[in-house]
A = this chain, B = another copy of it.
Amino acid sequence: MTRTIDLAVIAGDGIGQEVVAEGLKVLDAALQDVTVRTTPYDLGAARWHRTGETLTDEDLAAIRQHDAILLGAVGDPGVPSGVLERGLLLRLRFELDHYVNLRPSKLFPGVVTPLGDPGEIDFVVVREGTEGPYVGNGGAIRVGTPHEVANEVSVNTAFGVERVVRDAFSRAAARPRKKLTLVHKHNVLVHAGHLWRRTVERVNAEFPDVTVDYLHVDAATIFLVTDPGRFDVIVTDNLFGDIITDLAAAVTGGIGLAASGNVNPDGTAPSMFEPVHGSAPDIAGQGKADPTATVLSVALLLAHLGHDDAAARVERAVAADIAGRGTTPRTTSEVGDALAAAVAEALPAS
């Protein structure tokens, strides 16, 4: 547990600016005797339009010095697809070795889900963050001709798979149900799939209390809508994790509530916390964005830095706020203010 938090803030574009402001409010309110120092980084679509830069080596070196990163959302329709994704978001995840992309899915009481009444949902997806089809090892020849061939390569290493699988096992072991589901497609992607499968089997020996099962990714999407309560911890590769966590967010109330952590469990670089949603240019600047996903990402950040009590306060405040939501829409800052006030009220007398 740190007495100061030295935070890099990448608010980004569109609603990113608005939701991060609320996240920081709640972060401040949640802590006692801890100083939060924030340094804003001007990264995203606005910077790219102005300078053509996505993330310079200097930006990266500066960001490395912080304890953690809070990111809002980046992008606008004027930036070509892939520029900010590969040049900024994925570059941060890869350079800072965020090999655990942590995405909890919890159905808070009171949330309307497309599933009607699915029962209790409370699982976490441990998505690998530094390998798989995201490595950028593809290429194309004869582009634009009838003879074009475009390849994408998914790279999976024993080193990379084992460390994320071990992380997922230790998270599963710490939860009441102690259940781990590997999601892959080993009947088709036989080389990568078998590496994942063998690794899970081997690491299971270190965590004999954890029950393991396996689902093909296609079958996993079925269970996510027919029986989401069956999941406890899911471990999966970068691309499958991307897909199933958006689906998981949808069944637990939408990406307006979905938080994520890009975690470097070894502490060799700062971890980064961000809502799963994007910059939503259509509603930007109108105070309409729900900051809850960012606030829940702040809770993940607090827990990551050892401030477990503060994290729990934030989560409880969110749960209470959601349970009490009426039909009158609130502005982004009204939601943030309410959450900050609830969190402050829950502080122990000092």
Contact = CB atoms under 8 A, between A and B. Distances in A.
Interface of A: 81-82, 85-86, 90, 114-116, 118, 133-134, 136, 138-140, 142-159, 162, 185-195, 197-198, 217-219, 221-222, 224-226, 239, 242-247, 249-251, 254-255
B189 A152 contact: yes
Contact of A157 (B114, B149, B251, B255): B149
A158 B146 contact: yes
Given A114-B115, A154-B152, A226-B250, A218 B242 contact: yes
A144 B222 contact: no
A59 B226 CA distance: 39
Contacts of A146: 158-159, 162
A192 B150 contact: yes
B195 A222 contact: no
A136 B217 CA distance: 18
A34 to B, nearest CB: 35
Contacts of A191: 138-140, 150-152
A242 to B, nearest CB: 5
Given A134-B188, A154-B154, A225-B225, A195 B148 contact: yes
Given A221-B221, A251-B225, A154 B133 contact: yes
Given A81-B190, A190-B86, A221-B250, A195 B158 contact: no
Nearest to A250: B222
Contacts of A194: 81, 140, 150
Given A149-B156, A159-B146, A194-B150, A133 B189 contact: yes
A297 to B, nearest CB: 18
Contacts of A195: 140, 143, 148, 150
B116 A82 contact: no
Contacts of A144: 198
Nearest to A195: B150
Contacts of A151: 153-156, 191-192
A218 B258 CA distance: 14
Contact of A82 (B86, B149, B190): B190
B153 A152 contact: yes
Given A221-B244, A221-B246, A221-B250, 11 more contacts: A81-B187, A82-B186, A116-B116, A133-B154, A134-B188, A147-B157, A151-B155, A152-B154, A152-B156, A222-B249, A225-B225
A154 to B, nearest CB: 4
Nearest to A226: B114
A153 B150 contact: no
A130 to B, nearest CB: 13
Contact of A188 (B86, B145, B156, B244): B86
28 contacts: A81-B186, A82-B186, A85-B187, A86-B190, A114-B115, A115-B115, A115-B116, A136-B190, A138-B191, A138-B192, A143-B195, A144-B198, A145-B158, A146-B162, A147-B158, A149-B155, A149-B158, A150-B191, A150-B192, A152-B154, A152-B191, A152-B192, A188-B242, A218-B247, A222-B247, A222-B249, A222-B254, A226-B254
